[in-house]
């Protein structure tokens, strides 16, 4: 099709990196690409924390579920939904309380994700690999304390970036007909059944026959591990998620 689409379609999560450092020029290009992402009413309701302190990275790796690549990657970024800055600048002109209401929560979370995805694409275009770290939400209060996050800011996820030191298989996605609908929503069970077998084959190859599972089994297992603490945590940070 074209180079950009081919790059997007070749995305893989990289969890092993070489020791090659990320240059200042590369880092700035990645961050500038992130800032070019779409933003609602130009709110730019996110912040990016570059964690350079080795001890801090190790603590975050532990909080994220002992994911060693958090501490080992050359560049680790924490993407935060940020309404604090929005509130600060708004209060320069009005006394209207700025809250983390449902709409603002959605905006800030989406904008952090949009900016991060731009960064991921930029990094991959430079030959680098990335891995999102949702495990930071395992212990969001502890992460927030370590990073000094104020009210109306919360860590959405982390991101490891570096030169890949592995060549993982490309993980198959759901068939297009499972996610694409015309005019009205229609759950497509046969496409999911087909995908189950695709993932079974993929996992068999990836693990040399050690794991026999399907996508639906993985989703059922995930459903048993909800991060129920997130509601209370978000409320403590000033987000109204009732």
Kindly state whether residue 233 falls inside one of the protein's structural domains: no
pLDDT over 70 (residue 48) = yes
Mean pLDDT of 132-147: 98
The reply to whether 117 and 202 lie within a common domain is no
Strand order of the β-sheet with 153-162 is: 46-50, 75-82, 153-162, 129-133
pLDDT for 1? 80
pLDDT for 242? 64
- Which residues share a beta bridge with 47? 80
C-alpha to C-alpha distance for 23 and 20, rounded to whole angstroms = 9
The rounded mean pLDDT for the chain is: 96
The reply to whether 205 and 102 lie within a common domain is no
CB-count burial class (<10 Å; 0-12, 13-18, 19+) for 188: middle
Kindly state whether residue 236 falls inside one of the protein's structural domains: no
**For the chain, what percent of residues have pLDDT higher than 70?**
100
Pairing mode, if any, of strands 46-50 and 75-82?
antiparallel
Q: What is the dihedral of CA 185, 187, 190, 192, to 10 degrees?
A: 110
CB-count burial class (<10 Å; 0-12, 13-18, 19+) for 115: buried
Mean pLDDT of 44-65: 98
Mean pLDDT of 205-234: 95
The reply to whether 221 and 157 lie within a common domain is no
Residue with tokens 């990836």: 206
Domain range for residue 222? 172-226
Pairing mode, if any, of strands 46-50 and 129-133?
unpaired
Please state the domain count of the chain: 2
pTM, whole model, 2 decimals?
A: 0.95
The reply to whether 219 and 105 lie within a common domain is no
């Amino acid at each position: 099709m074209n180079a950009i689409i081919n790059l997007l379609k070749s995305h893989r999560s990289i969890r092993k990196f070489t020791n090659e450092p990320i240059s200042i020029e590369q880092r700035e290009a990645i961050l500038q690409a992130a800032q070019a992402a779409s933003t609602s009413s130009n709110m730019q309701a996110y912040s990016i924390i570059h964690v350079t302190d080795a001890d801090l990275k190790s603590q975050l790796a532990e909080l994220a579920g002992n994911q060693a690549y958090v501490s080992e990657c050359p560049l680790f970024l924490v993407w935060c939904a940020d309404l604090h800055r929005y509130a600060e600048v708004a209060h320069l002109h009005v006394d209207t309380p700025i809250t983390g209401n449902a709409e603002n929560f959605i905006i800030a979370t989406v904008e952090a994700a949009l900016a991060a995805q731009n960064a991921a694409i930029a990094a991959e275009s430079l030959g680098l690999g990335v891995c999102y770290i949702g495990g930071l939400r395992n212990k969001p209060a502890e992460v927030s304390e370590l990073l000094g996050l104020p009210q109306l800011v919360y860590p959405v996820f982390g991101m490891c970036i570096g030169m890949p030191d592995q060549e993982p298989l490309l993980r198959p996605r759901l068939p297009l007909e499972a996610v694409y609908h015309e005019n009205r929503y229609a759950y497509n069970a046969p496409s999911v059944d087909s995908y189950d077998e695709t993932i079974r084959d993929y996992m068999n190859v990836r693990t040399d026959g050690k794991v026999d599972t399907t996508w639906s089994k993985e989703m059922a297992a995930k459903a048993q591990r909800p991060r129920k603490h997130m509601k209370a945590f978000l409320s403590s940070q000033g987000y109204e998620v009732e």
